[in-house]
Copies of this chain bind each other. A is one copy, B any other.
């Protein structure tokens, strides 16, 4: 967490792939550790702020990674990781034996398990380290990081990861455990949205002020920035621009349903969310914030849409 962390890390150089809204500030914070960092993005223009901060650009991943034992990816989904890692000439081919791939995106646990086996077959190591937090926390270096992978590798990475956020929770040797936790965390947030959506929809019908309800319940019970934040968005019907789009909410619900079904668990709340987000998307809310689930439930209760 402090300046000497990089000294404790055995890694002197690394490569960072993926510089979207989250990846960019994360890479910037990693640079502060003093590590030599090559950066790559599908849209190279996005790299400018990092080059200014001391990183060097990597135009072509082929070959250029062969000497680099440490590569971070911060990519949107399974498909993007497949494209970057698994296709011919991808990371799998260019990472050296003993090299470490730290995947920080929100991927499906099942895919991470497969990916881990594939890396192992090549003598490489996968660490999965998805994060909780929006871009502002990425910027501030205060993300919560959930990391899983071989213990010694995790220990060697900690001094670096602590530049991106803390605490870093190490949750086991199987990389997919970290993704299970990330997927479950997002499911609990969606559960909070359903709870708020139904509560505010009823509140309106019986003459209770939604904003006052959120204020009182947060004071009396929750004292939680997440409860207050989503409650206020929903109370104010403030769904655009989106912090997290409804179609991504649907994607995350599908992830948790898929994992649950794989182990023969039914999740009735996830089923409600699945139906709710789909209804919203069919009503044109695809790119609204996922808290617009409140609008779906309000409309089902007879409310008109705010212009």
Contact = CB atoms under 8 A, between A and B. Distances in A.
Find the residue from A203, A254, A266 having the highest chain B CB count within 10 A.
A266
Contact of A217 (B188, B203, B260): B188
A201 B185 CA distance: 13
A199 interface: yes
A261 B268 CA distance: 16
Nearest to A195: B191
Contact of A272 (B208, B219, B220, B269): B269
Contacts of A177: 206-208
A31 interface: no
B194 A269 contact: yes
Contacts of A199: 184, 187-188, 191
A99 to B, nearest CB: 27
Given A184-B203, A202-B260, A272-B269, A169 B216 contact: yes
Interface stretch (A56-64, A156-164, A277-285): A277-285
Contacts of A223: 223-226
A201 B279 contact: no
A221 B185 contact: yes
A132 B269 contact: no
A153 interface: no
A46 B177 CA distance: 46
A279 B133 CA distance: 35
Interface in A165-207: 167, 169, 171-172, 174, 177, 180-181, 184-185, 187-189, 191-192, 194-196, 198-199, 201-203, 205-207
B221 A202 contact: no
B184 A202 contact: yes
Interface in A255-307: 256, 259-261, 263-272, 274-275, 278-279, 281-282, 299-302
A50 to B, nearest CB: 26
Contacts of A207: 172, 174, 177, 180
A109 interface: yes
B263 A205 contact: yes
- The 7 A-B pairs at the shortest CB distance, nearest first, are namely A191-B195, A144-B220, A224-B224, A266-B275, A132-B220, A282-B302, A271-B271
Given A171-B212, A222-B226, A254-B261, 10 more contacts: A188-B217, A191-B195, A198-B268, A198-B269, A202-B260, A223-B224, A265-B302, A266-B275, A269-B269, A282-B299
